[in-house]
A and B are shown apart, each in its own frame.
Chain A
Amino acid sequence: MTDTLTPRRTTHASRRNRRRTAADAGLLVAAAAFVLPLAWVVLSALDPHASLRVKVPDGVTLDNFDAILTPEITFTPLLNSLILCGGATLLTVVCAVLAAYPLSRFRSRLNRPFLLTILFATSLPITAIMVPVYALFVRVNMIDTMQGTIFFFAASQLPFAIWLMKNFMDGVPKELEEAAWTDGASSFQSLLRIVLPLMGPGVAVVTVFSFVMMWGNFFVPFMLLLSPDQMPASVSINDFFGNRGMVAYGQLAAFSIVYSTPVVLLYVLISRRLGGGFALGGAVKG
């Protein structure tokens, strides 16, 4: 194809090609480095004699999955995770939608200070307050309760959720709603019937993002829940090391995959729909 081009454009094109090859090579090296730990987890899960290093399995087996797919090891912790994160996500999203509506729709001199406070809280290191939260929860008898953990999860995710939701809501033109108001709809009705359906993808992003953040969170349930039968998967995974004696790496890898799959799938679902940097559109650019 280059034969038909003029000499000058040929050099330009070949320089571009060379540069592309160099970029490809650089990226592939980075990808190889990043993929090693991921390869370990996939290969070990299928390996009857898994060890700590990446190696081709001595024969593929699903025994590791078989061994962990029991109520005690997998289903109860995953159910706990689901109750915990599902409950907290629901609470977060409902509160965030309600809070975002007046912030997005009505002018008030308090909007700006409120939003600044929210943005400030968004970037506070929540890890830092876990010790006082524990002390407080002991004092008010909320320690080791699902409700308490759900409330705290929701509160910790709310600043970001409100911020994101408000930005998505700003994208819904107000004119449509005004038409509904003239027809006698209340604010609540127009929120429910007009605004929310139009910002469906935005609500989905906030929901999935909140859920993914909580699903992966270790420190909050680690601190606030004590009884083993309430532990979500993020904490129970620790048991593979402590209480079960010899570490069965193959089973640990299999459990890691089962536990991670839902959030990876949810992420793929949402990023396909809204482009890779979905969370950043709201978080970084304001």
Chain B
Amino acid sequence: MTATAPEHAGPEVREVPASPPSGTRPGTVRRSLFRALPVSPAVVLLLLFLAGPIVYCVVIAFTDLQLTGQAQESFVGFDNFTRAFKDEAFLNAVWLTLVFTVLSSLIGQNTLGLALASLMQRASKPVRTLTGGIVVTAWVLPEVVAGFLLYAFFRREGTLNAILDWLHLPSQNWLFTLPILAVSFANVWRGTAFSMLVYSAALNEIPKEVTEAAEVDGASGWRRMWHITLPMIRRSIGTNLMLNTLQTLSVFGLIWVMTRGGPSGKSQTLPLFMYEQAFQNSLIGYGTAVALLLLLIGSLFSVVYLRLLRTEV
């Protein structure tokens, strides 16, 4: 599905003349063709540089292509995949990707984003503007810069430990002892703004009468949240979770800058594992097989996302 879907874009557009609605005159065919013409630059770009690599990905995932030392690669069937599922480093990366996604996206960005958005509904305007501005700035900063800022924050001699010292709490070398936790926090720092904006928009669309009626009926804040607000914004929750997850699955630069996946693979999520296999170990075929798996997981989420939006397209 992943490999073929974008490719369809081309033929579909060009098929306009081939499948005219029954009973149309030849002039309509030419008109359809003419009307589809402006789409062609985009379709060509997408076919060559997006669909092409995806197809190529499927092909070389089944070969033993290497960067060096081998003149010709050969077809190895599912070897790369069976190898992956026996490779402890791969399973470790799968586990860490899961931890990273659940901690930073499902729990962190999503819950914090919702909390901030609902606090903003009641807060005074200056505080709302200030907090929103700070959170959004963290989101707009380039990935690598965000990585450095949080690297400085979590380092042994960094700000977090300074605060812990000040509070007389035990400090430690976070990037060494709990690297996956540190990069997850970094991803929360960077990505929460998105959820916050999504939920602010969703909460603003809830009619005031509904919450006021519940308030008059004596429903407490938590009950109102659980029984009224959350059901009313469930579509936004669905799409937000989906987009957060997809975003988090493809995080590379942030982790690369903070830990390079280390120490000894303790923060090596799938994208970093893929990179290491393909370039540090020169196993392009194996690295691509991992990429294909990542792409498959991504397209699965993508299909769910499409179904959530189904009525709107």
Which residues of A line the B interface, CB within 8 A?
19-20, 22-24, 26-28, 30-31, 34-38, 40-41, 44, 51-54, 91, 94-96, 98-99, 101-103, 106, 108-110, 112-121, 123-136, 151-152, 154-156, 158-159, 162, 187, 212, 215-219, 222, 233-235, 237-238, 249, 252, 256, 259-260, 263-264, 267, 271, 276-277, 280-281, 283-286
Task: Kindly list chain B residues whose C-beta atoms are within 8 Å of the C-beta of A155.
Answer: 45-46, 48-50
Size class of the B contact interface (CB-based, 8 Å): 35 or more
- Let me know if B92 is at the binding interface, CB within 8 A: no
Contact B152 A249, beta carbon cutoff 8 Å: yes
Task: Kindly list chain A residues whose C-beta atoms are within 8 Å of the C-beta of B38.
Answer: 98-99, 101-102
Question: Mind listing 27 A-B residue pairs with CB under 8 Å?
Answer: A26-B119, A27-B127, A31-B130, A40-B153, A54-B159, A99-B38, A108-B32, A110-B16, A123-B246, A125-B249, A125-B250, A127-B249, A128-B295, A129-B54, A131-B288, A134-B284, A135-B56, A152-B49, A156-B49, A217-B253, A218-B142, A234-B143, A235-B144, A256-B145, A283-B243, A284-B243, A286-B312
Report the minimal beta-carbon distance from B190 to chain A, rounded to whole angstroms: 10
Report the minimal beta-carbon distance from B219 to chain A, rounded to whole angstroms: 14
Residue of B nearest to A237 (CB): B144
Query: Provided the pairs A51-B157, A125-B249 are in contact, do residues A215 and B142 lie with their beta carbons within 8 angstroms?
Result: yes
Complex Cα distance, B128 from A249, in Å, reads: 32
Contact among B19, B48, B159, B251 with A37 in the assembled complex (CB-CB below 8 Å):
B159
Interface 9-residue window, one of B80-88, B102-110, B271-279: B271-279
Give the residues from 256 to 313 in chain B that come closer than 8 angstroms, CB to CB, to chain A.
256-257, 271, 274-275, 278, 284, 287-288, 291-292, 294-295, 298-299, 301-303, 305-306, 309, 312-313
Residue of A nearest to B275 (CB): A131
Extra contacts, 20 of them, besides A53-B159, A123-B298, A284-B236 (Cβ < 8 A), are A23-B119, A23-B121, A27-B128, A30-B131, A34-B189, A40-B153, A44-B152, A99-B39, A108-B36, A109-B19, A110-B13, A110-B16, A132-B54, A132-B288, A154-B49, A155-B45, A216-B141, A237-B145, A238-B257, A263-B140
